[in-house]
Structure 1
Amino acid sequence: MLTITNTPNHTGVKISGDYFDLDGLNQSIYQVIGAEEKYYNYAGARMRILGVSYEIRQAAQGGRNIERVFNGLQEKVKKQHNFIAPDKNIYFSVEILWPEILFTSLALRDFVRMHRNQAQNPEWDFHLYNIQHFQSLILDCLRGRISDKDYQTILQAFSEASPTEEYVIQYIDFLNLQYIGMAVSQREKTLPAVALKIALKDQDYLSFRQQVLAAANPFKKAIHEIPIQADYPKNITW
C-alpha cells in the first residue's frame, strides 16, 4: 500500500510502498503528463514532476531506503492454513522536500485536467484515479502537520490556483533551500505559508520571476532552462 508520511524533522515527506505500488505510481505519472513537448507551456512543471518520478523509480529499484513492514499475517493464520511464511514485506521509500512535493501535487492537477479533457473515457481511466490518490495522500499528510484552519485555506488556494503554465520552477529550488536552512521548529510553523506561496504566486514569486526572465531574455531561452545559482547540501537531515 502506498503511504506518505512526514519525516522526523519536518523536512519533507517519505513516500513508501512495495515495488508494485511505486512502479504503478510512476507508470501513471508518465501516462498523465504525456510525452515531451505535448504540453509545451508546461515543460517546466513537467520537468519538476519527472524529478520526483525519478526518485520514486530509484526507490522502487532499491536505490533509496529499504524497510521491512508487518503484512498482517499472524501466527494463528499460518497454523490455520498450515504453511510457513514471513510476517513482514519489503517496502521501498524515498524522501522528498516539502516545497517540492507540494508543487508536484499542484502541477499534477493541471496535467490531470488536460489528460481528462483528451481521454475518451476518463471515468474509467485508472491512471487519473491513481494520480488523484497520490495527490490526496500528499495533502492528507500535510493536514496532519498544520491546523484545520490553515488546511482549509490551503485547500481553497490549491483549488483556485492559476495554472502552473510557464511556472518559474527555479522558485521551488529557492523555497527548498530556504526550508532546508530553517530550524525544525520553524519548519512546522512555516509550512502553511510555503504551501500558499506555491499556489498563490505572491509578490516574492513575481519578483523572482522577473529576475529569471531578465536572465533568460538575452539568450532567448525558455524560463525553465535557466539554472539556479545555488547548490543543495550533500546530506539532508530528514
Structure 2
Amino acid sequence: MFSIKTTKNNLGITITGDYRDLNELHTGLSNLVGYEEEIEGYEDISLRILGICYDLRHAYMGDREIELVHNGINDEIKKWHGKLYPDYNVYYSVNILWIEAIFSALVLEDIINIRWDKRLSKKYIVETEDFWIPDDMDREEIEKKVKIEKEIRLPYDIAIVRLYQASIWKALNDVVGINRYRRLRNLVLQDDYYGSLKYHGFFTQYLDILNMEYIYGKPEKRNTLLAALIRKLIKLDKEYYDIEEDIREFAKENDIDYRDVQLTNVNYPEELEW
C-alpha cells in the first residue's frame, strides 16, 4: 500500500510505495480522469492530474527517488522456508507540490461523481478515439472490450483514489494542525452533496498563482499559509473570479483560447527545496 506524508520543508507531499503500489495508483487516477478531452469542462484539470500520473509512472520506473525498506524477513523465516529471500524491499517515491496535491484531492470528488452517476456521465463524458489500434484489428470490438474492462474496474479505481484523497488529508493535518484541519474539512463538507460539480470549468492558471505564493512564502509560516491557500481553493472568492475574468478578456482581445493564456508572473524555481 502506498503512503503519503509531507516533505521535510512542507513544500509538498511525498508519495511512496513499491512498483505495484504506484502502478495501481497511476492506473486508478488515469482511468478516472481519462484523456485530456474526455470530460467536458475538466480539460485543463485533467492535464494537472495526468501530470501527477506522469510523475508516478516515472517514479515506479526508477526515475525519481528510491529507498530500501526492511521487510521483516529474518534468518528464522529463511530457514523455515528453506529459501533465500531479500532482507529489503525497493520503494519508489515522488514529490508533488501541496497546492497540486490538495487540488487533486478536491477535484477528484467531481470526477468520481461524473464517473459513477450515469446521468452525469452521459452529459459530461466525451467519446473519443483515444488510443491507437492497428488497421488489421477490429476497432469496434476492442473499444467495446476496453469499455467493459473499465466498467468492471471502476469501483476498484474509485477505492484506490479514495485512499489517495484520504492520505493527502491525513498528511495535511501534520502541517496545519488539528484545528485548521477540522475547519478546512468542515468547509469541504458544507458544499459536499451528491452529484455536485464544484470545479467544472475551473481556470487552472489560478493554481500557478497559489503555487507561487506558497513556494516563495516564508518556510517557517507554511502551516498558516497553506491553510489559507487551501481555503481559497475550497471557497472560490472574488480574487479567483477577478483572475478568471481577466483571463477571459485577454483571450478574447488576442483571439486565443483561455486555456492558452500564460501568466507572466509565474516562475517556478529550477530546484525546489522540498
Q: 2-side partners of 1:150 and 1:222: how far apart?
A: 38
Q: Deviations over 1:51-100 (max 9, x none)?
A: 11111111111111111112222333223323222221111111111111
Shift, 1:220, TM fit: 4.4
**Following superposition of structure 1 onto structure 2, how do residues 81-92 of structure 1 map, counting pairs within 5 Å?**
81-92=81-92
User: Which has the greater radius of gyration?
Assistant: 2
Q: Is the 8 A contact 1:59 1:93 kept in 2?
A: yes
TM-score by length of 1: 0.92
SS class of match (1:35):
coil
> 156-165 or 85-94: which moved more?
156-165
Candidates 188, 204, 211, aligned match of 2:246? 211
Q: 1-side partners of 2:180 and 2:261: how far apart?
A: 33
Q: 2-side partners of 1:122 and 1:224: how far apart?
A: 33
Q: Deviations over 1:201-232 (max 9, x none)?
A: 12221222222222222244443322232221
SS class of match (2:175):
coil
SS class of match (1:41):
coil
- 1:142: which partner in 2? 172
Q: 2-side partners of 1:181 and 1:21: how far apart?
A: 32
SS class of match (1:14):
strand
- 1:33: which partner in 2? 33
Shift, 1:124, TM fit: 7.0
What is the identity, as a one-letter code, of the residue corresponding to 1:178?
A: E
- 2:139: which partner in 1? none
Q: How many residues align?
A: 238
- 1:107: which partner in 2? 107
Question: In 2 relative to 1, CA 107–122 (structure 1 residues): closer, same or farther, beyond 3 Å?
Answer: farther
SS class of match (2:176):
coil
SS class of match (1:175):
helix
Q: Is the 8 A contact 2:26 2:57 kept in 1?
A: yes
Q: Is the 8 A contact 1:166 1:223 kept in 2?
A: no
User: Equivalent pairs: percent with the same residue?
Assistant: 29
Q: Gaps spanning 5+ residues in structure 1: where?
A: none
Q: Gaps spanning 5+ residues in structure 2: where?
A: 122-147
**Following superposition of structure 1 onto structure 2, how do residues 187-226 of structure 1 map, counting pairs within 5 Å?**
187-226=222-261
What is the identity, as a one-letter code, of the residue corresponding to 1:71?
A: N
- 2:49: which partner in 1? 49
Tell whether 2:167 aligns with 1:131: no
Shift, 1:123, TM fit: 10
Q: Is the 8 A contact 1:3 1:137 kept in 2?
A: yes
> 79-88 or 131-140: which moved more?
79-88
- 2:3: which partner in 1? 3
> 150-159 or 2-11: which moved more?
150-159
Q: 2-side partners of 1:89 and 1:38: how far apart?
A: 37
